Structures are given as structure tokens and as C-alpha cells.
Amino acid sequence: MPKGVPTSIPDDGLTTRQRRNAPVLAVNTGDGKGKSTAAFGMAMRAWNAGMSVAVFQFVKSAKWRVGEESALRALGEVHTATGQGAPVSWFKMGSGWSWLRANDAAAADHAQAARDGWREIARCLASEEHDFYVLDEFTYPLDWGWIDVDEVVSVLSQRPGRQHVIITGRRAPAKLIDAADLVTEMVKVKHPMDAGRKGQKGIEW
């Protein structure tokens, strides 16, 4: 997309510089593909701009996001080795919320694990620990009522400093969409599985 002129200049008392540096809350939703993939693509870009990246993955499966995780972790190691880019952190719900429940992952209640994950995100935001957050598939615990949408919107709206947050998943709650700066809906036009194709490594995960 062209980086063109805004369609209007808001009367918000901010300078152009302040507006350019405003932290972004983005939501990628809809039933089509590319919601998370685009968020990870943005994370690559953020990494290159020197923003420390933190991914919070709200879906637990062995295969999920392995490609993105190891590529982003490799970029984190590039930063450690050469100083290029920025640090990368990756947290997984369930077994991955290890700072909270190292020893009872097998018995973890998913709703509680999701709430613990959100609590950790809120803590990170309050202390400005990262520059760029991907809350991957975070709309589901919101949609299922596991995490309170009003609290999430309140914490996100009041986050200090310049922390960008990208949230992905279907059925994003209306209050979250209202609070977001950038909302994109991915719409499925055609999918290989409709023609009986199977998912495959490197394409689907």
C-alpha cells in the first residue's frame, strides 16, 4: 500500500511527528488465511526496525507456527550474534506459560492458562518490556468469555509508551475492533481444501 497523504488531518493537538510515532493496535480477523502470517510478517519488519518482538501464542499444538517460531527465533539469534535487528521472545499457552505453571502443564485448565497468559501480557505492557507484541489467536479466549474484553480494551487503551500490539483470530469482539487503529478482515475466496487438497509443511504451518 502506498504511504500516501492521510485523507484528513485530525484536530487532536498532536504534531505530525507525534502522529507518526503513535503506537498501533491492529487486529487481523475474518475466516480467510493470512491473519497470523501477516502479523508475523509485520514482526519481521518490526525486528528490522530494531523493535523487540514478543509473540504470545494462544493455541497449543505441536505443529502450529513451527515455521514462524523457528524463523523468528533465528532472527533473535542474529540479533544476539551481530546486533542487527532486535531481540525476539516467544511464549506458548499451556506448556509455554512456563513462568507461571512449570510443573502442571499437563493438568492445566485452558481457560486459566489463557487468563494467566493475558495477565503476563498486561504486566509486560505496564512495564514496557517489548516494542512489538503479537497476540496470536487471542480473539478465541475473548470470544469464549475466558478473558474479559472490557479489561483487555482498557489495558490496551492505557498502555504506556510506544508499544505496538497486533491481535489475530476469527470473530474479533466488536469492542476490540472499536478500540483498534487498524483492522483488516481476511476473506476466503478459494482454498485448496475445498478441492480436497491436504495441508502441507511450509505452506500451512
**Residues between 149 and 178 with contacts to a second copy, criterion CB under 8 A:** 164, 177
Judged by beta carbon, residue 102 or residue 194, the one nearer a second copy is: 194
Window 179-198: contact mask with a second copy (x via CB under 8 A)? -xxxxxxxxxxxxxxxxxxx
Residues 176, 147 contacting (CB under 8 angstroms): no
Question: Taking contact as CB under 8 A, which single stretch among the options 3-11, 95-103, 114-122, 149-157 is the one that binds a second copy?
Answer: 3-11
CB of 102 to a second copy, least distance (A): 27
* Burial (CB count <10 Å: 0-12, 13-18, 19+), residue 92: buried
C-alpha 75: how far from chain center? 17
Q: Does 20 bind a second copy (CB under 8 A)?
A: yes
CB of 142 to a second copy, least distance (A): 17
Total residues contacting a second copy by CB under 8 A comes to 79
State the DSSP code for 198: P
Judged by beta carbon, residue 12 or residue 150, the one nearer a second copy is: 12
Count CB-CB contacts under 10 A for residue 119. 14
Residues 155, 125 contacting (CB under 8 angstroms): yes
C-alpha 127: how far from chain center? 18
